[in-house]
Amino acid sequence: MQKRAELYRGKAKTVYSTDNPDLLVLEFRNDTSAGDGARIEQFDRKGMVNNKFNHFIMTRLQEAGIPTQMEALLSDNEALVKKLEMVPVECVIRNRAAGSLVKRLGVEEGMLLSPPLFDLFLKDDAKHDPMVNESYCETFGWVSKANLARMQELTYKANEVLSKLFDDAGLILVDFKLEFGLFNGEVTLGDEFSPDGARLWDKETMDKMDKDRFRQSLGGVVEAYEAVAHRLGVKLD
Ligand code: C5P
């Protein structure tokens, strides 16, 4: 496999084509953004930690029967993945209230949400990722009804698997975001799962160990990500 042209540069990752039309290289950079890219900082080791973290989680999800784009870890900062036709809608599950839900509804941070909430957001930084629902997806043609139902099913399944995984590591999976795409017509998990796109709290202290440390200027961003990786048994060095 040979890495070829840069196809797309996102806020934290760069995507490259390869000599195989079905495969891409994801490069995890040290950039960390908040406020839809309004604030960006670099943190040493963050790209490496998120790349290895993501590979570990995607492998667990694949083992649990969730189709993912992950093929292989290529280097500290790169992974080989299947090329998906991405759906421009983000799936969010919330097990506890935090972030935009607290802002929107004024409920108390940490409130248990049972059953967990499922939200959809349009992936569009310029519009600040507006919240949408199933009928918007159908009317605007972002994803078919059947594929959206499958995305929802897989997101709930991932929540089951990951809530248990993090709980066993002494962490609460508060909420997380997943992005899907199609590979040969099959709904497949893409993008990444890392502390950049999930909220993880220490079970004992309720300390935040995710990107909220950056959003809220709490410090120790990469140290928290590394601590989470260590507790899960992700090999970093
Ligand atoms: O901002 P909000 O509270 O709606 O985020 C819910 C979850 O989805 C959080 O874990 C957040 O990190 C993640 N998220 C994300 N990318 C976005 C929006 C939310 O990773 N564009």
* Band of pLDDT at residue 96, cut at 50, 70 and 90: very high
Q: What burial class does residue 135 get, using C-beta atoms within 10 Å of its C-beta: 0-12 exposed, 13-18 middle, 19+ buried?
A: exposed
Contact 157, 189 (CB under 8 A): no
What's the complex ipTM?
0.98
154-213 pLDDT per residue, tens: 999 999 999 999 999 999 999 999 999 999 999 999 999 999 999 999 999 999 999 999
Which ligand 1 atom is the nearest neighbour of the CA of 198? 10
Is 212 near ligand 1, meaning CB less than 6 Å away?
A: no
> Coil, strand or helix: which one is 123?
coil
Q: What is the CA radius of gyration of the chain?
A: 17
**Residue 170 zone, left/alpha/beta (φ > 0; ψ -120 to 50; rest):** left
Asked if residues 176 and 92 have their Cβ atoms less than 8 Å apart, the reply is yes
Q: What's the 215 CA to ligand 1 centre distance in angstroms? A: 11
Q: Give me the count of residues in the chain.
A: 237
**E-strand spans in 85-150?**
85-96, 112-122, 131-132
The structure's pTM equals 0.98
Pick the atom of ligand 1 nearest to 129's CA: 21
Cβ of residue 100 lying under 6 Å from some atom of ligand 1: yes
CA 123 to ligand 1: nearest atom: 21
Model confidence over 50-68: pLDDT tens digits? 999 999 999 999 999 999 9
Question: What is residue 62's predicted lDDT score, i.e. its pLDDT?
Answer: 98
Rounded Cα distance between 214 and 218, Å, is: 6
The Cα–Cα gap between 216 and 109 comes to: 14
